[in-house]
Amino acid sequence: MTAAIPRACVMGHPVAHSRSPMIHGYWLKSLGIQGAYDLKDLSPEAFPGFVTGFPANGYVGGNVTVPHKEAAHRIVDSRDEAAAAVGAVNTLWLENGRLLGGNSDTPGFIANLDDRAPGWDVPGCRAMVLGAGGAARSAVYALVTRGAQVHVVNRTFARAEEVAVRFGPRVRANGIDELPGLLATADVLVNCTSLGMVGKPALEIDLGPLKSSAVVYDIVYVPLETPLLAAARLRGHRTVDGLGMLLQQAGFGFRKWFGGAPRVTPELRAIVEADIVAKTPRN
């Protein structure tokens, strides 16, 4: 008899749009590893039972996406430092019979920034994060761990304040009306809202006050170049799209489930880029 091959999956609702099977399938093939990676569309009601039943369902772990990240945080037996800090789990794996959870968005966020805009972390770095949801918390945590002073800007000030309280004195909450003054001193501007995503309104922001050396980062990756990034590029800013974050964060789970040393190669990025371009509606 031969041992069953390890299986992992991405769990969300909906989840058909996910590029995770493409990414993990590429690594399984290129590294010559026996394994499988599936899509699992699970309602909020079905998610807990499926996850706690991983062994019976034939899975060694998986990725967690909207709307299950906070539920996953509650379910796991133990969580890593990033997941505990952010309050969300996006990667699950089994270890010695226990269900463990991690948050790969934080290392993925920073790895992408390092790769696409090296030297961004100037002395006394000031970052401005737009949004106060789970993605913003991951970005804020990652930036703070690298020594940045972070300003969180959100239309609902109370939510920005919650993020600032969670991460301590290096993080400050700000209202939308404070944007122009904050832009003038920002070294990194990050959009962690869904504005600019296909099907959503564009992010309306005047980049005029932003200093020319600032890096503009949008975690949205459909479209690859959001209106924010297009405007920043025309002004001469270095820009960072969200696709690199998606690719960089994926290796965390792959190593947990399948082993090996997955790398984000130009070939992999080109494959996923081509799929996004082919499936993104044209204006």
Task: Give catalytic residues, as residue numbers.
Answer: 69
Euclidean distance between CA atoms 63 and 94, whole angstroms:
13
Query: What is the sign, positive or negative, of the torsion defined by CA atoms of 27, 33, 34, 35?
Result: negative
Distance of CA 80 to the CA centre of its chain: 16
Cα atoms found within 13 Å of the Cα of residue 253, Cβ hemisphere only: 33
Q: Which tokens in the block code for residue 269?
A: 């990025």
Q: Which contacts qualify for 165-168: CB closer than 8 Å, 24 or more apart?
A: 166/85, 166/87, 166/137, 167/85, 167/137, 167/140, 167/141, 168/144
